[in-house]
Amino acid sequence: MKITMIGTGYVGLVTGTCLAEVGNDVLCVDVDAHKIDILNQGGVPIHEPGLEAMIARNVAAGRLRFTTDQDAAVAHGTLQFIAVGTPPDEDGSADMQYVLAAARNIGRRMSEFKIVVDKSTVPVGTADRVRAAIAEELRSRGVDTPYAVVSNPEFLKEGAAVEDFMRPDRVVIGADDERAIAMMRAVYAPFQRNHERLLLMDVRSAELTKYAANAMLATRISFMNELANLADALGADIEHVRQGIGSDPRIGWQFLYPGVGYGGSCFPKDVKALQHTATELGRPLQILGAVEAANEAQKLRLVEKIVARLGADLAGCRFALWGLAFKPNTDDMREAPSLEIIAALAARGARIVAYDPVAMPEAQRVFGDAPHIAYAATPMDALAGADALIVVTEWKEFRSPDFDALRAALKQPLVFDGRNLYEPALVRAAGLEYFSIGRP
């Protein structure tokens, strides 16, 4: 099949590459010429496990190409996937300008039947807006080319995106056009060979499903974070509680980890956008208001613990910070808790020496030459002479440090662990004072 992927970011690049991997002829288009240059020179603008080799393989096979040429992009695919960003607008609603610009672009240029697939996370009703935007462009050209609009929200996780796309739990398709439904079934057939994973529904339900999934996951995280804070106050251990409830199959193990709050490019904006939609309809979701408020507070929980131990004035303090990305296995720092933690420490006069296996270039881009942050080549280098270690992202390489070496490198024997990575007894046996989330 000929497929055009509009937007070559975390979702578009992974989706386009995986669709090429199963034999489709994929053209990825982006308005960011720099990104397309990197890709055309054999580079990969993001960090995603397994992606680089898969891109190289499919480019070499001639099934995957990258362009900024909008004419070529619209001409190429019968299927036009829209995978552009939907960042939060000032009022919390999803900013639809990129999705609608992509739709208008198609309408302005198409000369044969197209299936336009909304893969971006978009508010309920967006498919109608996309349909209207294309219709308006066609009308102004005086043509009546047929097209269909489909909702196909994406559930991949950064850090495991290739694996998630190649082996999806489910594929949600919202559509009412028979020809489009048949095409979407054909597109996803290679990804569900052992059993049917395609859930066909109406467009509005498909659009809402994506927000419902992210809102539910964010709710679990905030719930655990609030419980962890209560455990702190009660002298209970949230890790025991987590095991005690996760073992109940009705609750399950996933997304029950207390920490420094959720971040990333999806949960914060999607929770806000869903709440905005609900509020506009006069039905605000009370639970989501609490989820968001709990998350904002949680991002600073570790800083509160640092202040409780070292005092409010941190001038002259230097902290080693492990982990900048919002989660492991990605270089994405959008809405990462590290940003707020670093800002709060810097506001109190502290300096940070950070280490992250892949997100340091992104951090350098975000912080520029800000004087309060420097970067270390290794986790141990970050520790040298620091007043404390702060663990923010649960990268695998942070899980089993040499605590004696850690103790020897630090100026003060303090570890603030925002991800509950360590066994408290083990850390303390090395002569370190250990602070984590919800554990005595």
Ligand X SMILES: NC(=O)c1ccc[n+]([C@@H]2O[C@H](COP(=O)([O-])OP(=O)(O)OC[C@H]3O[C@@H](n4cnc5c(N)ncnc54)[C@H](O)[C@@H]3O)[C@@H](O)[C@H]2O)c1
Token pair for 7: 């937007």
By beta-carbon proximity to ligand X, the closer residue of 29 and 138 is: 29
Widest CA span in the chain: 78
∠ CA(105), CA(95), CA(335), 5° rounding? 125
Pairing mode, strands 114-118 and 79-82: parallel
Please check whether residue 350 is in contact with residue 302, taking contact to mean a CB–CB distance below 8 angstroms: no
The contacts of residue 343 (CB under 8 Å, 6+ apart) are none
Binding mask 164-183 for ligand X (x = CB under 6 A): --------------------
Site for ligand X in 328-367 (CB under 6 A): none
Q: How far is the CB of 156 from ligand X (least distance, A)?
A: 5
CA distance 9 to 106: 19
CA distance 100 to 130: 6
Interacting residue with ligand X among 30, 237, 331, 417 (CB under 6 A): 30
Interaction of residue 35 with ligand X, rule CB under 6 A: yes
Q: How far is the CB of 283 from ligand X (least distance, A)?
A: 23
* Binding window for ligand X (CB under 6 A); candidates: 6-14, 57-65, 219-227, 371-379: 6-14
Query: HSE of 108 in the Cβ direction (CA atoms, 13 Å)?
Result: 10
Q: Point out the residue whose Cβ comes nearest to ligand X.
A: 9
By beta-carbon proximity to ligand X, the closer residue of 29 and 51 is: 29
The contacts of residue 283 (CB under 8 Å, 6+ apart) are none
Q: At 318, give phi and psi (nearest 5°).
A: -130, 130
* Binding window for ligand X (CB under 6 A); candidates: 9-17, 190-198, 352-360, 431-439: 9-17
Q: How far is the CB of 276 from ligand X (least distance, A)?
A: 14
By beta-carbon proximity to ligand X, the closer residue of 276 and 301 is: 276
Binding mask 69-108 for ligand X (x = CB under 6 A): --------------xxxx-----------x--xx------
* Binding window for ligand X (CB under 6 A); candidates: 28-36, 197-205, 219-227, 244-252: 28-36
By beta-carbon proximity to ligand X, the closer residue of 158 and 356 is: 158
Interaction of residue 207 with ligand X, rule CB under 6 A: no
Site for ligand X in 276-305 (CB under 6 A): none
H or E element in which residue 44 lies: none
Q: How far is the CB of 338 from ligand X (least distance, A)?
A: 17
By beta-carbon proximity to ligand X, the closer residue of 162 and 266 is: 266
* Binding window for ligand X (CB under 6 A); candidates: 52-60, 153-161, 288-296, 402-410: 153-161
Query: What are the Cα distances from residue 92, in Å, to 84, 123, 153, 264?
Result: 18, 12, 20, 15
By beta-carbon proximity to ligand X, the closer residue of 154 and 237 is: 154
Q: How far is the CB of 380 from ligand X (least distance, A)?
A: 31
Nearest alpha carbon to residue 79 among 110, 51, 49: 110
Site for ligand X in 249-268 (CB under 6 A): 265-266
By beta-carbon proximity to ligand X, the closer residue of 77 and 401 is: 77
CA distance 400 to 322: 13
DSSP of 205-242: HHHHHHHHHHHHHHHHHHHHHHHHHHHHHHT--HHHHH
Would residue 213 be called left, alpha or beta, if left means φ above 0 and alpha means ψ between -120 and 50 degrees? alpha
Q: Is 28 a catalytic residue?
A: no
DSSP of 111-180: -S-EEEEE-S---TTHHHHHHHHHHHHHHHHT----EEEEE------TTSHHHHHHS-S-EEEE---HHH
Binding mask 105-124 for ligand X (x = CB under 6 A): ---------------xx---
Given the rule CB under 6 A, which residues bind ligand X? 6-12, 29-32, 35, 83-86, 98, 101-102, 120-121, 154, 156, 158, 265-266
Mind telling me the catalytic residues? 266
